[in-house]
Chains A and B, each alone.
Chain A
Amino acid sequence: MVFEITEEDKQSTYVILPAYNEETRIQPVIEEIARRGYKMVIVNDGSSDNTLKVIMESQRKYPKSIYIYSHIINRGVGVAMQTGFDAVVRYNPKYVVNMDSDGQHSVDDLENVLKPLVTGEAQAVIGVRPLEDMPLSRNFANAVMNLLTKIFYKVDVSDSQTGFRAITNEALKKININARGYLISSEFIREVNDNDIPFAEVPIETIYTPETQAKGTNIVEAFKILVQMIRHQF
């Protein structure tokens, strides 16, 4: 039987989209999510281009679906997510989803990551990207990060660096995110694990373009994350 989310659950699902210099990519993502009946909390992370203007244009089309918060300066995806989590609780959501705003993730996967939450199978979900579609350098960095997450955070997952995750409101209240940059992905998994939150992995589609590959966890980011993981041990 094909899973279909109810209108009521859709209405109480909020998607957090952190956005930094995404003026050319974010609009189709936002409007597709809005068309499907989900609500969004979008955090503009001090973009130097017209990202905020583009988001506001979409808000004009879907005023009841889009809530915007904006950092006055760029502070990194981790801080943008912290703002997103703090903002989303104001709307009393049932489910909170986080995905990238650059079109790397397919909106079709929203129902897939929500399914374990709605059915009660899990309270937190990560979307696992297919390794075979991943560029070699990204694949290697991801393997390193999975290993580091296992060593430092004692959690074994298939994709520790995914930006597609979902959590129930109840579980969200238990976790504490302090990461500034891409460490947020591993930190989210650690918090879920440390708080004994039932957890599931769901395969997702990833759309790689030269633009989407420019961001994310590469070797340099992996090194920065390693330094932060070491610091967190003390």
Chain B
Amino acid sequence: MLLYSILVPIVGIIFIVLFLVRYMKGKSSLLTVFLWALLWIIVSLFAIFPDSSSYFAKLFGITRGLDFVIIAVFAVLVYTIFKLYFKLDKLQDDLNTIVKEVALNNEISLDDKEE
């Protein structure tokens, strides 16, 4: 058995446990935990059974198993970046609302300077 066949599943288990802890603390939804656990289980299975990637590659018309894995990882990364981008965008809007509210509720007058 190759080294990565051992390391990847260990990393996968650590991440799944971390996500379970976050769920128990109420920081992540059950769906998020499920999706990340599913991803790490698939990645770990590919690491333990490298030839299985060739089977999935053929299903999608891709020649090599490794190419399939790279494309799948790329797709996950693109999805994650977009999700983070929209989340960040929403946070920016929320922050702007707060900054505007604070400014509008605190008009600066001469008395403020004298305090």
What is A's interface to B at a CB cutoff of 8 Å?
Answer: 43, 46, 52, 56, 59-60, 63, 67-73, 75, 79, 82-83, 86-87, 180
Q: From A79, which residue of chain B is reached at the shortest CB distance?
A: B96
CB-defined contacts of B113 to chain A, threshold 8 Å: 56, 60
Within 8 A of A (CB), among B81-115: 92, 95-96, 99-100, 102-104, 106-110, 113
Q: Could you tell me if A83 and B108 are in contact, using CB atoms closer than 8 angstroms? A: no
Q: Which residues of A contact B96 (CB under 8 A)?
A: 75, 79, 82, 180
Please indicate the chain A residues that have their CB under 8 angstroms from the CB of B99 in the complex.
46, 71-73, 75, 79, 83
Q: How far is it, in angstroms, between the C-alpha of A67 and the C-alpha of B113 when the chains are bound?
A: 14
Shortest B72–chain A CB gap in Å is 27
**In the complex the two chains form, is A86's CB within 8 Å of B92's CB?**
no
Number of A-B contacts (CB under 8 A): 51
Contact across chains for B106 and A86 when beta carbons are under 8 A apart: no
Task: Select one of A46, A70, A180 contacting B108, CB under 8 A.
Answer: A70
Flag if B110 contacts A71 (CB, 8 Å).
no
Residues of B within 8 A of A (CB): 92, 95-96, 99-100, 102-104, 106-110, 113
Chain B residues, CB < 8 A from A59: 108-110
Q: Is the CB of A69 within 8 A of B92?
A: no
Using Cβ atoms and an 8 Å threshold, which residues of chain A touch B102? 71-72
A63 to B113, CA, bound (A): 13
Interface contact B95-A69, CB-CB below 8 Å: no
Contact flag A69-B110 (CB < 8 Å), given A75-B95, A75-B96, A180-B92: no
| A46 surroundings in chain B (CB, below 8 A) | 99
Q: How far is the CA of A67 from the CA of B104 in the complex (A)?
A: 11
Q: Do A79 and B110 touch (CB < 8 A)?
A: no
List of A residues within 8 angstroms of B108 by Cβ: 52, 56, 59, 68-70
Contacts of A67 in B (CB 8 A): 107
Closest 8 CB pairs of A and B: A68-B108, A69-B103, A83-B100, A79-B96, A71-B99, A83-B103, A75-B99, A71-B103
Please name the residue on chain A nearest to B100 by beta carbon. A83
Could you write out 12 A-B pairs with CB less than 8 Å apart?
A: A43-B103, A46-B99, A59-B108, A60-B110, A68-B109, A69-B107, A71-B102, A73-B99, A79-B99, A83-B100, A83-B104, A180-B96
Contacts of A69 in B (CB 8 A): 103-104, 106-108
Q: A46-B99, A56-B113, A67-B107 are in contact. List 20 more A-B contacts (CB 8 A).
A: A59-B108, A59-B110, A60-B110, A60-B113, A69-B104, A70-B103, A70-B106, A70-B108, A71-B99, A71-B103, A72-B102, A75-B96, A79-B100, A83-B99, A83-B103, A86-B100, A86-B104, A87-B103, A87-B107, A180-B96
Whole-angstrom distance between the Cβ of A64 and the nearest chain B Cβ: 11
Q: How far is the CB of A224 from chain B (nearest CB, A)?
A: 13
